[in-house]
Amino acid sequence: MHPTDTITAIGTPPGEGGLAVIRISGKEALMIAGRCFRPSRDGVRPDAVASHTVHHGHVVREGEVIDEVLLTVMRAPRTYTCEDTVEIGCHGGVVVTRRVLAAVLAAGARMAGPGEFTRRAFLNGRIDLTQAEAVADLIHARSELAARAATAQLAGHLSRRIEGMRDDLMLVLVHVEAHLDFPDEDIAPETGEALYRRMGVAREGLLGLLRTAGEGRVLRQGLRVAIVGCPNSGKSSLLNRLLGHERAIVTPIAGTTRDTIEESADIRGWPVVFVDTAGLREGVDEVEREGIRRSRQAAERAEVLLHVMDRARPWQAGDATLLEEFTGRRRVLVWNKSDLPGCWEEITGSAECGVQVSCVTGSGMETLKDRIAALAGAGVLTGDAAEVAIGVRHQEALRRAEEALARAMAAMVEGIPLDLVAIEIRMAVEAVGEVVGRTTTEDMLDRIFSTFCLGK
């Protein structure tokens, strides 16, 4: 379980930059660094210097100087992985970085797999599984709220909730199992009731966490919002406005957009993936028909639709058909071109109130962004995301825990033998424990860490 070899990888993104960092972690890290580092001051040896110190020198390989570097030496256990760690800060060129890495590999380190440094931090007990996952969430965060939620998870907010819940369930389990040792004695009614109440509280806690799954998913994957409507209604103009730059081509010609265009944006802190689509009408030519097929596909895949309508031209039969096509979907009706005289009033009698906007003047955009943000969150997370929003893996395990607990509670009510109740409670304890990684399998860890970047 506990790895003993020494791993290395480039910790910074590939490409050109001012600096790059090559990490080395493991028992031999200081020795390996010593083999490829020539200090500027005589006598500085990575395995002899004090912990958490920085040293100037050169990386050399077979006598050849590869780069001028700063070497940071950090001894276990106060490091990211809890192991001896060396970080080499070198120049940020693609080739020079690779050559420094090659020198470290030649000195005896092994190339790290994706997420292997974080995996070691987990295996060495510095962080639990939800915190390890938060590292990946933080790196991939595409909005401010997403980054803040990941930081809170990394700080252990979710871990503490989970551990607290697990402790409560353990207590119940211990009580129930104690009674199993005396099969002739019935559990006293008041004890039974107290246990049942405790289980109810734990179950409420589980349900509360499960309610954050929707927001957790949006924070991690972004809310998919398709911009749909008739040709020329201003869909591409709206995309550009929401992004704040001219991403899509806008012309007065109906049928300008053919292919779907996807772009991410940060809307009131929420990560949102906007998809601009071809205007929906009877396709004129083959290319446009294919575009329209893709529009409908994008609309289907989206969680929210922005249905754009041009109020400055007379109402047409097609408008009603489209409104009809998307009823029942989570959508915002966007009445565009409010800077021009309107030809028709908003559809009245509909409970949906639209948002009046102008892509030319920008009026109404703030209201529209508020509406999109409101659709992103179900209101579980507040503005400051020091809260918890669970991910898909957590959701799956917690749901299993909740179901087992519900069965245990039902069994108690029905007077089913206590050993069966205990089995269900044990299942719940184990499922909750999986979230923080108390019970893991190699497979499960492989799956989690394979989504990490190299060098993390």
Ligand X SMILES: Nc1nc2c(ncn2[C@@H]2O[C@H](COP(=O)(O)OP(=O)(O)OP(=O)(O)O)[C@@H](O)[C@H]2O)c(=O)[nH]1
Q: Which is nearer to ligand X, 123 or 357 (CB)?
A: 357
Smallest distance from ligand X to CB 261, Å: 10
Q: Which is nearer to ligand X, 131 or 358 (CB)?
A: 358
Q: Which x/- pattern, by CB under 5 A, does the window 373-402 give for Mg ion?
A: ------------------------------
Which of the ranges 32-40, 131-139, 175-183, 231-239 carries the binding residues for Mg ion, by CB under 5 A? 231-239
Smallest distance from ligand X to CB 312, Å: 7
Does the footprint of ligand X cover residue 307 (CB under 6 A)? Answer: no
Contact 364, 356 (CB under 8 A): yes
Contacts with ligand X by CB under 6 A: the residue count is 23
Out of 340, 343, 410, 420, which residue is the one contacting ligand X (CB under 6 A)? 340
Query: Rounded distance, CA 223 to CA 219, Å?
Result: 8
Contact 25, 79 (CB under 8 A): yes
- What angle do the packed helices 392-413 and 213-221 form, to 10 degrees? 170
Q: Which residue do the tokens 């104690």 mark?
A: 178
The order of strands in the sheet holding 64-74 is 37-39, 53-61, 64-74, 85-92, 17-25, 7-10, 110-111
Smallest distance from Mg ion to CB 260, Å: 10
For residue 241, CA distances in Å to 265, 360, 364, 365, 400 come to: 11, 9, 11, 8, 44
Which of the ranges 67-75, 112-120, 214-222, 254-262 carries the binding residues for Mg ion, by CB under 5 A? 254-262
Residue whose beta carbon is closest to ligand X = 279
Residues in the chain: 456
Smallest distance from ligand X to CB 80, Å: 47
Which of the ranges 21-29, 202-210, 353-361, 396-404 carries the binding residues for ligand X, by CB under 6 A? 353-361
Site for ligand X in 241-280 (CB under 6 A): 250-252, 254-257, 278-279
For residue 393, CA distances in Å to 101, 139, 216, 432, 434 come to: 34, 18, 11, 11, 9
Which of the ranges 15-23, 53-61, 122-130, 232-240 carries the binding residues for ligand X, by CB under 6 A? 232-240
Residue 48 CB-density burial (10 A; 0-12 exposed, 13-18 middle, 19+ buried): exposed
Does the footprint of ligand X cover residue 231 (CB under 6 A)? Answer: yes
Residues 6 or more apart whose Cβ sits within 8 Å of residue 184: none
Does the footprint of ligand X cover residue 233 (CB under 6 A)? Answer: yes
Q: Which is nearer to ligand X, 85 or 240 (CB)?
A: 240
Smallest distance from ligand X to CB 232, Å: 5
Query: Rounded distance, CA 263 to CA 238, Å?
Result: 12
Query: Rounded distance, CA 235 to CA 309, Å?
Result: 9
Q: Which is nearer to ligand X, 222 or 234 (CB)?
A: 234
Does the footprint of Mg ion cover residue 277 (CB under 5 A)? Answer: no
Contact 74, 52 (CB under 8 A): yes
Does the footprint of Mg ion cover residue 295 (CB under 5 A)? Answer: no
Does the footprint of Mg ion cover residue 257 (CB under 5 A)? Answer: yes
Smallest distance from ligand X to CB 409, Å: 54
Query: Rounded distance, CA 225 to CA 239, Å?
Result: 10
Residues 6 or more apart whose Cβ sits within 8 Å of residue 446: none
Site for Mg ion in 149-168 (CB under 5 A): none
**Contacted by 25, from Mg ion, ligand X, none: CB < 5 to 8 Å by type:** none
Does the footprint of Mg ion cover residue 236 (CB under 5 A)? Answer: yes
**Contacted by 450, from ligand X, Mg ion, none: CB < 5 to 8 Å by type:** none
Phi-psi region of 147 (alpha: psi -120 to 50; beta: other; left: phi over 0): alpha
- Summarize as ranges the residues that interact with Mg ion (CB under 5 A): 235-236, 256-257
Point out which residues bind ligand X (CB under 6 A).
231-237, 250-252, 254-257, 278-279, 336-337, 339-340, 358-360
